[in-house]
């Protein structure tokens, strides 16, 4: 056996020295700025939404700072600090800790992936730093009795509830009765969570579940799954997919000439701008559930979208709007707290009653958090992909009050 | 029943393509006796090459088949010559150069992450002239890109078999794979043979890349998904056996497609691993491999 | 002074520095980095018991980390058992699984063994991802397990600050290094060395190499599982792909290889060099160049295997030897 210890002593001292060098971490004097840490998936499978979230935040913070910053704190400007979660919960946890302990942020937002948000928010709770979740639907994020976690978007049980309300409303409106339902979902955290609730709601509403299939998001070939779907002959197909598999699934269904009466997706991959780019005509008729759509009937929505599109090259989506609104929620709370003390900021957040201002381009009417930190008013809209002026476009169809004027939804989309 | 047959048809086509991805691996495995952990990355390089070629020039995927593989042959040839050959030379005495395995893993890390740095992590698809097209065969639907892939796989396998049997270089490769020392004594430059084998293996990965791009998406770590499957197929089919790789691929493709009609597709993955382990224990030389190879 | 005295003094000094570091380094982020450093050093040293001593290349060891984490966490979450006890149970289960895997695979040669360990590890991981509950045990499939915040206490294996975690993993690391040293000097160590280099001769002498290999495997898996529990209690969250994936398995093996498998402190050196590199490239460079740290890792791996396949320990040990010889009094043979 080799004499390992000798070499290790040398290396051990070298290692200690290495650590000491990096001890002298960055020490910059902070001006009158309030730091907001953001854990987002800037690389990895959800990179495109992560980057959109980053851009939306930047747009909001620019506007807030240009309008004078946080006036109750001497015009303090907001500063955004980012950390890449890579959609990996472990990295998310480590990065949240780093943002809190090293970067000394005053608030944290993030993380888009529920699987990352779930443990990362526990870190913030542990350290008593307010954590605002713009988008991340897993119910349990706000159901643990935490005091420092606030969520702007709706939770997934509400998403599911609204999906089934939509189905019922449309069947009432058109007089068409649909009975057989199929569930197809990515086998990660998000998909499995939705599927659980789907089963409950389907049972309640009296549907017959003809297929209940998880599939691996990275599958090389979805033809077997589509074949299975075809032989199950469902009326309604409910989907939860990430970007790449949403594209693969839609194209494979077109290839296999499978045209169910109703296809209802749950946002995420289907809402990604790349989806329509890569599926084009194959996506016509699909219904999707999102927090927001470009044609939503709210003041300032169109202008904000134009501004975003001009700056970054694509439309706002539900996720980016939530991130945008979250910044205004934070600014509003900081304004009322008149301090950066975490406890005071936390209390100000809990008392939020935001019903006016640039944040109100969201599809619902105000942000108010209940005792669990959940935004009571959070809602969703259902869109349908339809051909408008020769191009596939997403058109808001539900709730009826939000429906784009002059558009009659094709329900069922196929016979 | 229709569903099962439809699934089987799909499974055969996908299986042939899996076999194609494994073909290059079995060649390298057979001739050089090493596990090339970088094979998945080579496939990724093939896919990205095909992607960029088609995206930037819009040429038909069949034409890409003429351009990408030769480029990849050169890439593989020199990769082996520069990076891996020195390790071989250093481990001349050792029958199983484990260090080569480790070096190929290093190559894998480097290639995959270079791709990540250069192209970003997003999934990319490109619409080609044959994407999404299908034709009917009775009551069954056959996807055009997959069928082309099936044909390409068969042709490549046949072409490779002919090459190995009829050409001088092919015979040199076979000689080296059967007995390295004897081949050396006969005047065959072992290292040149290795370079050619590696280059060929990479070129085949290039063919596989061209064949997959019309219907699958590419991203820096796409190789990992196919890599593990390729290893399973190679062991299943037998080291260095071309028909073995095809047959192994077909088996895996069929299991994936047909079994998922009866259970969640997430379980078929576990079943494939289970079968892999059974083969490793019961008949490690696979369908057509030689017993003394390991 | 004599060579032996020098060695012992430096060893004591290193231990002193290691134990005293938290008094100087107070930032929780840097403590976390050090904790993860020791964590990897521990894992790779445990791996070394099989990968270095038994002469094979297991590439699926992360599965045992997962077994440890899942066992102790399920026992804590559902039955209120202290994670310390759960840790030991996890270790035993891991050792058992390790032996079951080792029995058929140790017969195989080189690359087949590698593939086998990968297949086992991935197979188990995929199975866990597909199972929501196994009878009364909640496994939660791909979503992983979250350990809720409890009052900080030793019994709960949860602490408010990083220091206790630091000392726990440091102690574990020292224990596993001592164990490795002890084994290398024992009969088993010699048997394994003989079995690795001259299997036929060893068999002729009546040494049951297979049993020795199995023993080292059982030990290695037991120890690896302990780290799984530590990780679960440190992060309070884990999921199959992150904890049992090939990424971790490969990283463990390659840190040991770069450091020098077979050497007692080889893995530690590998960890000391590679982990800070990993962390700092990720923190400071991943914004602009994602994946750079893995490119560097891969390049180091290739270069080390090309020029110093025995690992970095050999040249470092030689360097130390030369320096030591200059300052010590010759005479006391080692």
Is the model's pLDDT at C290 over the cut of 90?
no
Lowest mean pLDDT among A16-25, A215-224, B263-272, C122-131: A16-25
What count of other Cβ atoms lies within 10 Å of the Cβ of residue B224? 18
- d(CA C243, CA C232) in angstroms, rounded, equals 9
SS (H, E, C) A100-165: HHCCCCCEEEECCCHHHHHHHHHHHHHHCCCEEECCCCCHHHHCCCCCCEEECCCCHHHHHHHHHH
Whether the upstream peptide bond of residue A412 has omega within 30° of 0, thus cis, is yes
Amino acid B294: pLDDT:
42
Q: Which residues, listed in sequence order, are joined to residue A383 by a DSSP beta bridge?
A: A288, A396
**Contact B34/C112, CB-based, under 8 Å?**
no
C-alpha pair distances (Å), A35 with each of A30, A79, A331, B143, C288:
9, 5, 11, 53, 21
- Mark yes or no for CB contact A119/C235 under 8 Å: yes
What is the structure's pLDDT at B46? 93
Residues 112-151 of A with CB under 8 A from C: 115, 118-119, 122, 125-126, 144
In angstroms, the separation between the Cα of residue B95 and the nearest Cα of chain C is 10
Cβ distance of A213 and B225 shorter than 8 Å: no
Report the distance separating Cα C314 and Cα C317, nearest Å: 5
Dist. CA A237–CA A325, nearest whole Å = 32
Contacts with B81 from chain C: Cβ below 8 Å: none
Distance from CA of A350 to the nearest CA of B (A): 37
B244 min Cα distance to partner chain A (Å): 22
pLDDT, one tens digit per residue, over B92-148 is 665 556 788 888 988 998 999 899 888 877 778 888 878 878 888 888 888 888 999
Percent of chain A with pLDDT over 90: 45
If one counts every other C-beta atom within 10 angstroms of the C-beta of residue A379, the result is: 18
- How does pLDDT run across A206-223, given as a tens digit for each residue? 999 999 999 988 787 888
C-alpha triplet B62, B64, B68: angle, nearest 5°: 135
Alpha-carbon distance of B223 to B239, in angstroms, equals: 20
How many other C-beta atoms are found inside a 10 Å radius of the C-beta of residue A219? Answer: 24
Inter-chain contact C28–A122, Cβ cutoff 8 Å? no
Does A48 lie at the interface with B, CB-CB under 8 angstroms? yes
* Residue B20 domain flag: yes
Residue whose C-alpha is closest to residue B206's, from B21, B59, B30:
B21
Say if B158 is an interface residue toward chain C (CB within 8 Å): no
Q: How far is C124 from chain B (nearest CA, A)?
A: 8
Position A20 confidence tier, pLDDT thresholds 50, 70, 90 = very low
In C, which residues are within 8 Å of A1 by CB distance?
Answer: 184-185, 189, 193, 262-264
Single pTM value for the model? 0.84
pLDDT of residue A24: 40
Give the pLDDT mean for A257-277: 88
Residues of A in contact with B120 (CB under 8 A): 43, 47
What ranges make up the beta strands (E) of chain C?
A: 133-134, 137-138, 145-146, 237-238
Q: Do B277 and C123 touch (CB under 8 A)?
A: yes
pLDDT confidence bin for A298, thresholds 50/70/90: confident
Q: Give the lowest-confidence range in B125-134, C121-130, C158-167, C190-199.
A: C190-199
- Nearest residue, CB atoms, B277 vs list C119, C246, C290: C119
Check if A389 contacts B (Cβ < 8 Å): no
Is residue B182 domain-resident?
A: no
The pLDDT assigned to C199 comes to 65
Note the pLDDT of residue A229.
92
Cβ <8 Å between B3 and A228: yes
Q: Give the closest of A218, A243, A257 to B141, CB-based.
A: A257
Q: Is A248 on the interface with B (CB under 8 A)?
A: yes
Say how far apart CA A152 and CA A57 lie, in whole Å.
Answer: 14
- Tell me which chain C residues have a C-beta less than 8 angstroms from the C-beta of A20: 24
Tell me the C-alpha to C-alpha distance, in Å, between residue A234 and each of A182, A229, A281. Answer: 6, 7, 22
SS3 percent helix, strand, coil of chain A, rounded to 5, is 45, 20, 35
Q: What pLDDT, on a 0 to 100 scale, did the predictor assign at position C229?
A: 94
Report whether pLDDT(A347) > 80. Answer: yes
pLDDT of residue C121 exceeding 70: yes
Q: Is residue A29 scored above 50 in pLDDT?
A: no
Query: What's the average model confidence in pLDDT over A316-330?
Result: 91
Write b or e for each residue in C198-225: b if 16 or more Cβ atoms lie within 10 A of its Cβ, otherwise e.
Answer: eeeebeeeebebeebbbbbbbbbbbbbb
Residue B180 lies in a domain: no
User: Which pLDDT score is estimated for A203?
Assistant: 93
Mutate to test the interface with B, among A188, A224, A228 (most CBs of B within 10 A): A224
C148 to chain A: which residues are within 8 Å by CB?
A: 144
* CA atoms of C112 and C274, how far apart (whole Å): 28
Considering only CB atoms, A220 lies closest to which of B121, B225, B264, namely: B225
Cα C260 from Cα B203, distance rounded (Å): 35
Mean pLDDT calculated for residue range A153-177: 91
Q: Answer for the pair B230, C115: CB distance below 8 angstroms, yes or no.
A: no
Residue numbers in A near B133 (CB within 8 A): 255
pLDDT class of A13 with cuts at 50, 70, 90: very low
Q: Do the beta carbons of residue A192 and residue A161 sit within 8 Å?
A: no
Q: Which residues contact A375 (CB under 8 A, 6 or more apart)?
A: A150, A151, A152, A153, A154, A367, A368, A369
Residue C122: count of CB within 10 angstroms of its CB: 22
Whether omega for the bond prior to residue A135 falls within 30 degrees of 0, making it cis, is no
Q: Does A88 touch chain C (CB under 8 A)?
A: yes
Counting Cβ atoms within 10 Å, is residue A178 exposed (0-12), middle (13-18) or buried (19+)? middle
The pLDDT value recorded for residue C332 is: 52
Nearest CB among B7, B123, B131 relative to A224 is that of B7
**Pairwise CB contact (< 8 Å): C57 & B98:** yes
pLDDT at residue A27 in the model: 39
Mutate to test the interface with B, among C142, C196, C305 (most CBs of B within 10 A): C305
Distance CA B148, CA B133 (A): 11
Q: Please tell me the predicted confidence (pLDDT) of residue B42.
A: 94
Question: Residue B258 falls within a domain, yes or no?
Answer: yes
**Which run of H or E residues covers position A377?**
none
How large is the average pLDDT for residues A112-121? 88
Q: Which residue do the tokens 């050619």 mark? A: B196
Instruction: With CB atoms and an 8 Å threshold, state whether B261 touches A228.
Output: yes
Q: Which portions of chain B are predicted below pLDDT 70?
A: 91-97, 290-294
Give yes or no for residue A2 having a pLDDT over 50.
no
Contact state of B256 with A221 under an 8 Å Cβ cutoff = yes
Please state, in angstroms and rounded to a whole number, the distance separating the CA atoms of residues C258 and C270: 6
Between B22 and C326, the higher pLDDT residue: B22
Identify the residue with better confidence: A171 or A318. A171
Q: Kindly indicate the confidence band of residue A23, based on its pLDDT and cuts at 50, 70 and 90.
A: very low
Contact B103, B41 (CB under 8 A): no
d(CA A265, CA A263): 7
Crossing angle (nearest 10°) for helices C163-185 and C28-51: 20
| pLDDT recorded at residue A19 | 46
> pLDDT at position B238, please?
84
More confident residue, B149 or C289: B149
Q: Is B37 helix (H, G, I), strand (E, B) or coil?
A: coil
Asked if C320 lies within 8 A of A9 by C-beta distance, the reply is yes
Structural domains in chain A, CATH included, are 30-154+298-368 (3.40.50.2300), 157-290+380-402 (3.40.50.2300)
Chain A residues close to C324, C-beta within 8 Å: 6
Considering just the CA atoms, what is the radius of gyration of chain B in Å? 19
Tell me whether residues A187 and C148 touch, CB distance under 8 A. Answer: no
Write out chain C residues lying below 8 Å of A82, CB-based.
287
pLDDT of residue C146: 83
Give me C24's structure tokens.
């100087």
Helix then strand then coil, in percent of chain C rounded to 5, is: 75, 5, 20
Into how many domains does chain B fold? 1
State how far the alpha carbon of A83 is from the alpha carbons of A94, A95, A319, B192, in Å: 10, 6, 18, 48
β-pair type (C137-138, C133-134) = antiparallel
A257 to B125: CB separation less than 8 angstroms, yes or no: no
* CATH number for position B109: 1.10.3470
The alpha-carbon gap from C239 to the nearest alpha carbon of chain A, in Å, equals 8
Q: Is the pLDDT of residue A1 over 60?
A: no
User: Torsion angle of alpha carbons B34, B37, B38, B44, nearest 10°?
Assistant: 130
pLDDT score of C285 more than 80: no
Q: What does the pLDDT read at residue B291?
A: 57
Looking only at the bridges linking them, the beta strands covering A208-215 and A180-186 are: parallel
* CA proximity to B244, closest of B23, B17, B37, B33: B23
- Given an 8 Å threshold on Cβ–Cβ distance, is C309 in contact with B113? no
Q: Report phi then psi at A156, rounded to 5.
A: -65, -25
Q: Could you tell me whether strands A77-84 and A33-40 are parallel, antiparallel, or unpaired per DSSP bridges?
A: parallel
Q: In the complex, which subunits touch A with 3 or more CB pairs below 8 angstroms?
A: B, C
- Residue A214, classed as helix, strand or coil, is strand
**Position A311 pLDDT exceeds 70:** yes
* Strands annotated E in A230-341: 236-240, 262-265, 287-290
Which residue segment(s) compose the domain that B196 sits in?
2-158+189-293
> A22 or B83: which carries more pLDDT confidence?
B83
């Amino acid at each position: 056996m080799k004499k390992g210890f000798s070499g290790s002593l040398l290396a051990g001292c070298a290692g200690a020295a290495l650590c000491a060098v990096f001890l002298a971490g960055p020490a910059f004097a902070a001006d009158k700025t309030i730091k907001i840490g953001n854990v987002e998936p800037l690389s990895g499978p959800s990179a495109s939404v992560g980057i959109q979230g980053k851009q939306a935040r930047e747009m909001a913070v620019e506007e807030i700072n240009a309008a004078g910053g946080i006036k109750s704190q001497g015009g303090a400007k907001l500063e955004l600090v980012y950390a890449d979660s890579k959609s990996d919960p472990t990295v998310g946890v480590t990065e949240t800790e780093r943002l809190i302990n090293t970067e000394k942020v005053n608030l944290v937002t993030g993380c888009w992936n529920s699987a990352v948000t779930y443990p990362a928010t526990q870190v913030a709770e542990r350290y008593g730093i307010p954590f605002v979740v713009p988008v991340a639907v897993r119910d349990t994020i706000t159901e643990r009795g935490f005091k420092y976690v606030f969520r702007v978007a709706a939770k997934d049980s509400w998403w599911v509830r609204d999906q089934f309300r939509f189905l019922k409303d449309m069947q009432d409106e058109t007089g068409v009765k649909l009975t057989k339902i199929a569930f197809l979902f990515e086998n990660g955290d998000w998909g499995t969570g939705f599927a659980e609730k789907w089963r409950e709601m389907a049972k309640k509403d009296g549907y017959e579940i003809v297929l209940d299939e998880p599939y691996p998001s990275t599958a090389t070939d979805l033809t077997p799954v589509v074949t299975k779907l075809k032989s199950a002959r469902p009326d309604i197909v409910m989907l939860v997919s990430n970007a790449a598999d949403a594209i693969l699934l839609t194209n494979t269904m077109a290839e296999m000439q499978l045209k169910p009466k109703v296809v209802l997706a749950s946002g995420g991959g289907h809402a990604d701008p790349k989806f329509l780019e890569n599926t084009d005509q194959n996506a016509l008729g699909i219904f999707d559930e999102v927090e927001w759509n470009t044609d939503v009937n709210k003041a300032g929505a169109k202008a904000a979208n134009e501004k975003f599109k001009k700056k970054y090259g694509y439309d706002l989506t539900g996720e980016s709007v939530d991130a945008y609104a979250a910044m205004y929620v934070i600014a509003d709370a900081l304004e009322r707290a008149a301090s950066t003390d975490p406890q005071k900021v936390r209390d100000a957040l809990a008392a939020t009653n935001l019903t006016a201002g640039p944040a109100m381009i969201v599809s619902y009417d105000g942000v108010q958090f209940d005792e669990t930190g959940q935004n009571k008013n959070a809602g969703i809209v259902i869109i349908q992909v339809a051909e408008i002026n020769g191009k596939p476009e997403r058109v808001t169809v539900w709730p009826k009050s939000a429906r784009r004027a002059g558009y009659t939804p094709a329900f069922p989309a196929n016979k | 029943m229709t569903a099962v047959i439809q699934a089987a048809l799909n499974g055969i086509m996908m299986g042939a393509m899996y076999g194609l991805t494994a073909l290059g691996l079995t060649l390298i495995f057979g001739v050089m006796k090493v596990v090339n952990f970088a094979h998945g990355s080579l496939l990724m390089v093939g896919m990205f090459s095909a992607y960029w070629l088609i995206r930037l020039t819009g040429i038909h995927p069949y034409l890409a088949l003429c351009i990408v593989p030769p480029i990849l042959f050169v890439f593989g040839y020199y990769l082996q010559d520069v990076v891996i050959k020195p390790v071989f030379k250093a481990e001349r005495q050792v029958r199983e150069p484990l260090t080569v395995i480790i070096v190929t893993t290093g190559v894998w890390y480097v290639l995959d992450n270079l791709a990540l740095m250069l192209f970003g992590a997003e999934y990319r698809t490109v619409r080609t002239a044959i994407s999404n097209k299908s034709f009917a065969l009775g009551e069954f639907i056959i996807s055009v890109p997959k069928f082309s892939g099936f044909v390409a796989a068969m042709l490549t396998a046949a072409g490779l078999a002919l090459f190995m049997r009829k050409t001088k270089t092919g015979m040199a490769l076979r000689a080296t794979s059967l007995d390295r020392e004897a081949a050396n004594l006969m005047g065959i430059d072992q290292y040149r043979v290795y370079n050619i084998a590696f280059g060929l293996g990479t070129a085949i990965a290039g063919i596989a890349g061209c064949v997959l791009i019309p219907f699958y998406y590419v991203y820096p770590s796409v190789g990992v998904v196919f890599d593990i499957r390729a290893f399973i197929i190679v062991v299943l089919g037998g080291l260095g056996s071309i028909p073995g790789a095809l047959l192994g691929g077909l088996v895996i493709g069929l299991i994936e497609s047909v079994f998922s009609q009866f259970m969640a597709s997430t379980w078929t993955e576990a079943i494939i691993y289970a079968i892999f382990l059974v083969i490793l224990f019961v008949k490690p030389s696979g369908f057509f491999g030689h017993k003394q190879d390991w | 002074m004599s060579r032996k005295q020098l060695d012992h003094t430096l060893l004591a000094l290193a231990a002193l520095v290691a134990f005293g570091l938290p008094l100087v380094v107070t930032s929780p982020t840097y403590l976390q980095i050090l904790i993860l450093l020791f964590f990897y050093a521990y894992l790779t040293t445990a791996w070394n018991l099989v990968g270095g001593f038994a002469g094979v290349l297991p590439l699926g060891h992360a599965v045992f980390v997962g077994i440890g984490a899942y066992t102790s966490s399920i026992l804590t979450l559902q039955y209120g058992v202290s994670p310390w006890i759960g840790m030991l149970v996890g270790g035993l289960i891991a050792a058992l699984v390790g032996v079951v895997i080792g029995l058929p695979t140790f017969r195989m040669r080189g690359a087949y063994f590698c593939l086998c360990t990968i297949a086992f590890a991935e197979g188990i991981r995929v199975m866990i991802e597909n199972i929501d509950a196994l009878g009364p045990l909640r496994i939660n499939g791909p979503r992983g397990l979250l350990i809720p915040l409890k009052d900080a206490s030793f019994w709960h294996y949860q602490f408010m600050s990083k220091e206790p975690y630091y000392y726990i993993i440091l102690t574990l690391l020292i224990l596993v290094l001592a164990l490795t040293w002890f084994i290398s000097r024992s009969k088993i160590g010699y048997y394994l060395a003989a079995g690795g280099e001259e299997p036929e001769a060893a068999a002729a002498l009546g040494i049951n190499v297979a049993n020795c290999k199995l023993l080292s495997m059982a030990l290695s898996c037991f120890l690896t599982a302990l780290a799984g529990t530590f990780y679960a209690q440190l992060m309070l969250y884990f999921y199959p792909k992150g904890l049992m994936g090939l990424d971790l398995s490969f990283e463990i093996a390659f840190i040991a290889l770069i450091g020098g498998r077979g050497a007692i402190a080889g893995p530690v050196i590998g960890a000391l060099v590679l982990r800070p590199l990993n962390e700092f490239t990720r923190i400071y460079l991943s914004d602009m160049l994602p994946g750079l740290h893995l490119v560097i890792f891969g390049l180091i791996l290739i270069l080390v295997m090309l020029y110093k396949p025995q690992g970095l320990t050999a040249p470092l040990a030689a360097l130390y030897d030369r320096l030591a010889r200059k300052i010590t009094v010759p005479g006391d043979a080692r």
